[in-house]
Structure 1
Amino acid sequence: MELFAVPDLPEIRPGHDLAALIRERVDLRPDDVVCVASTVVSKAEGRAADRSEFPAGPRAREIVSNRAAETDEGPPPWFVQAVLEESVEVLVENPFLLTETRFGHIGVNAGIDRSNVPSADLLLLPKHPSESAARIREGLPADRVVVTDTCGRPFRHGQRGVAIGWAGLAPGRDWRGETDRDGRELGITVESVADELAAAANLLAGEGDDGTPVVVVRDFEWGDHGESDAHFREVETDVVRRAIRAWSNRG
């Protein structure tokens, strides 16, 4: 498997055709996987915003007030309001905002970015990242597209790349029913291939001013395995989310 970044992409503006910009800079193959950072997808889709668009409501002011009672640091009320408007559930309010976005991703601050936004105060995630991936895929000779973001992980330091949208591939490779080297049948293993591809791409895309938000994965082979459409865990089977809810309610 080989990965390489698409070179010389311009600063992305609203209305830019990402697929055309990618096509102009690299010769793609049908079985390539094109990993596109959500930052440029959001910029192309006009998801940059100014603080004036998010006047703080009562709940945002309450969250800021509660945070101020414990620490001198914290986001401004308008930013908290933006997070609330981009979320369907707030799991944790303090010491940070952990929320579920409208498309099912759980992360800090609803994935809203305040860096690499030269002409606005913040950048919201794409509204429907898998639909964004499908639109990009329509303009490419490559059959598979993953929209990536970075987020932290419980129990570990640091951030890694994750998939928040995809088209042309299933997010999970299903090993259930296959056997290990000793002949034991696998009963629960579903490999999050979309996340693994996103994490690999992030090694090249970087986190700062690298300017390489699109990475091509070449010669990735799915193999003779089943597919799983599951990616964001449902509340009914998410023991971590249920535990967080119980802990928050006790507070």
Structure 2
Amino acid sequence: MNVSPVPGLPEIREGDDLAALIAERADLDSADVVCVASTVVSKAEGRAHDLDAFPAGPRATEIADRLAEITGEEKDPRFAQAVLEESTDLLIEAPFLLTETRFGHVGVNAGIDRSNVPGSDILLLPERPDESARRLHASLGVPVVVTDTCGRPFRHGQRGVAIGRAGLPASHDWRGEHDRDGRELGVTVESIVDELAAAANLVLGEGGGGEPVAVVNGFELDGFEGSDELFRDVETDFVRQALREWSYARD
């Protein structure tokens, strides 16, 4: 399997035909998978905003004041307001904001980015990443994964994850298959799209360098039972249930 960045993409702006820009620079094969950073999807879809678009309400002001007290750094209540408006569930409100977005992804600050947003203050995640991926898939004719980077519980650092996909299953369901000793697998579900997103992130780069699109060539999509489930539901997410009973207390 090979993972290669797509070079030469311009700064993406609202209304740009992202699929056409990718197709012009990538010689795609029907067996390829295109991984696209959510940042350029968001920019093309007009998700860059100034903070003035999010006048802070009482809840956002309360959250910003508490975070400022905890961290010793000034916090803009308009940013907290943007996070609240992009979220359906606030899992942790101190010492940082951990939320569930409207499409089911759980991450810090609803995945809102403040870097690499020329001319604007913040960049929101795509409103419906699966739909974004389906539009790109229809134009490019190959499977598409929309990626983002986020942290992980219990581990240091960030890695690439999928927040949307089209043209391929979300996971490989190994349940019912057997290991080398003949034991039947009962719980193993491999998140294929997350693994592709993480592989792509190695060549996409972070910060001021890198490219926003990568092509995965040689990944075998056929021959396994697929599942469309990407985000764990609340009923089986015991970590989320525990967080609802937890509150931050300073020493």
Residue in structure 1 matched with residue 198 of structure 2 by the alignment? 199
**Could you tell me how far apart the structure 1 residues matched to 2:187 and 2:221 are?**
18
Normalised to the residue count of structure 1, the TM-score between the two structures is 0.97
Residue in structure 1 matched with residue 212 of structure 2 by the alignment? 213
Q: CA deviation at 1:26?
A: 1.3
Q: CA deviation at 1:67?
A: 2.0
Q: CA deviation at 1:225?
A: 1.7
Residue in structure 2 matched with residue 46 of structure 1 by the alignment? 46
**Could you tell me how far apart the structure 2 residues matched to 1:33 and 1:84 are?**
33
**Could you tell me how far apart the structure 1 residues matched to 2:2 and 2:71 are?**
46
SS at match of 1:180: coil
How high is the sequence identity, in percent, across the aligned residues? 67
**Could you tell me how far apart the structure 1 residues matched to 2:148 and 2:71 are?**
28
Residue in structure 2 matched with residue 175 of structure 1 by the alignment? 174
Would the aligned equivalents of 2:38 and 2:125 in 1 still touch at CA under 8 Å?
yes
Larger displacement relative to structure 2 (202-211 or 91-100): 202-211
Unpaired runs of 5+ residues, structure 1, are none
The one-letter code of the counterpart of 1:218 is N
**Number of aligned pairs?**
250
Q: CA deviation at 1:74?
A: 5.1
5 Å-filtered alignment, 1:145-164, equals 145-164=144-163
Say yes or no: does 1:126 pair with 2:145: no
Dislocated runs of 4+, deviation >4 Å: none
**Could you tell me how far apart the structure 2 residues matched to 1:79 and 1:7 are?**
33
Normalised to the residue count of structure 2, the TM-score between the two structures is 0.97
The one-letter code of the counterpart of 1:226 is E
The one-letter code of the counterpart of 2:207 is G
Q: CA deviation at 1:69?
A: 3.0
Would the aligned equivalents of 2:68 and 2:75 in 1 still touch at CA under 8 Å?
no
The one-letter code of the counterpart of 1:28 is L
Residue in structure 2 matched with residue 21 of structure 1 by the alignment? 21
Q: CA deviation at 1:95?
A: 0.7
Residue in structure 2 matched with residue 80 of structure 1 by the alignment? 80
